[in-house]
Amino acid sequence: MSTFNVELKKVVDDSYDIEIGFSLEEKLILDLKAGLVGNIKKYVVVTDSVVKDLYGEKIHKLIETAGFKTDLIVFEAGEKSKTRETKEYVEDTMLSKGYRRDCCIIAVGGGVVTDLAGFVAGTYGRGVPFINYATTLLASADASVGGKTAVDTPLATNLIGMFNQPQKVYIDIAAWKTLPKRQLSSGLAETIKHACLASSDFFEYLEKNIDKIMAVDKDVCEKVAEENCRIKYHVVMKDERESGLREVLNLGHTVGRAIETVSDYRLLHGEALAIGM
């Protein structure tokens, strides 16, 4: 009887930048040309049926014009699409179009898109890089920092997934102007949660500037996006894998996620979270 030790110790640097600004599509292309993901020349743009016409098609065309191979994969908008079946659809489409390990996934949309596309990236070819291009206030608050990716099951949300960090995140505040007021309010719930957890000053700032946020005021919304990232980062950097401290970010989520599921997703995530809080 013998024992063979497989020693695989390694240091991993999963650091990445979050770029916050207005109309960042051209900046994304410049970064790809400058080697954001190394020598990769093949990009799969994953988006939903709503964001497709607003930003997905445009970014896909810009990547194509820049001389890269690219395809656009679209699924039906909404939490009901964040399933293993949709993940399988994205993967099978990528396989049919000849993508292998030499590609990068670009998720363009809100939290459903970034959650699902990030999960696909973590398992496709045993892992390919991905970029998040967040188009909602909720995604900027929730999906931009931390690397949580997942799909939902009939039993509950986010039960199957993995921690997978992107190469870079773009928070395009200009996209918030296309959001219905209900979607902005949903994103604000997650933002208010951060303020409740970490900063009374930020909470007061939100109270004073709520009308400007709903009007997508440039300076105010940039500060909101930065504070969301800062608060979440200071938790995630200490507990990336949610072994303890990071659970504070689930404030309101235990009840909120259950309500979201029971409502058959008629309630938006932020609405259910607000009830949970």
Residue 125 neighbours by CB distance under 10 Å:
14
**What pLDDT sits at residue 92?**
98
243 has pLDDT over 90? no
Is the dihedral angle over the CA atoms 214, 112, 109, 169 positive or is it negative? positive
pLDDT in tens, 125-141: 999 999 999 999 999 99
In eight-state DSSP terms, residue 156 is -
**What pLDDT sits at residue 39?**
96
Distance between alpha carbon 263 and the CA centroid of its chain, in Å? 23
197 has pLDDT over 90? yes
**What pLDDT sits at residue 239?**
82
DSSP code string of 257-271: HHHHHHTTT-S-HHH
pLDDT in tens, 47-105: 999 999 999 999 999 999 999 999 999 999 999 999 999 999 999 999 999 999 999 99
Q: Name the 3-class secondary structure at 150.
A: strand
Higher pLDDT: 246 or 93? It is: 93
**What pLDDT sits at residue 169?**
97
Mean pLDDT of the chain: 95
CATH 1.20.1090.10 domain extents, the chain: 178-276
Q: Does domain 17-176 have CATH number 1.10.1370.30?
A: no
pLDDT in tens, 9-54: 888 889 999 999 999 999 999 999 999 999 999 999 999 999 999 9
pLDDT in tens, 208-231: 999 999 999 999 999 999 999 999
pLDDT band at 113 (very low <50, low <70, confident <90, very high): very high
Quick check: 106 and 264 in contact, CB under 8 A? no
HSE (side-chain half, CA atoms, 13 Å) at 275: 13
Q: What is the CATH number of domain 178-276?
A: 1.20.1090.10
> What are the phi and psi torsion angles at 220 (to 5°)?
-65, -45
Distance in angstroms (rounded) separating the CA atoms of residues 201 and 263: 34
- Output the pTM of the full model: 0.95
Q: Which of 169-173, 182-186, 258-262 is predicted least confidently?
A: 258-262
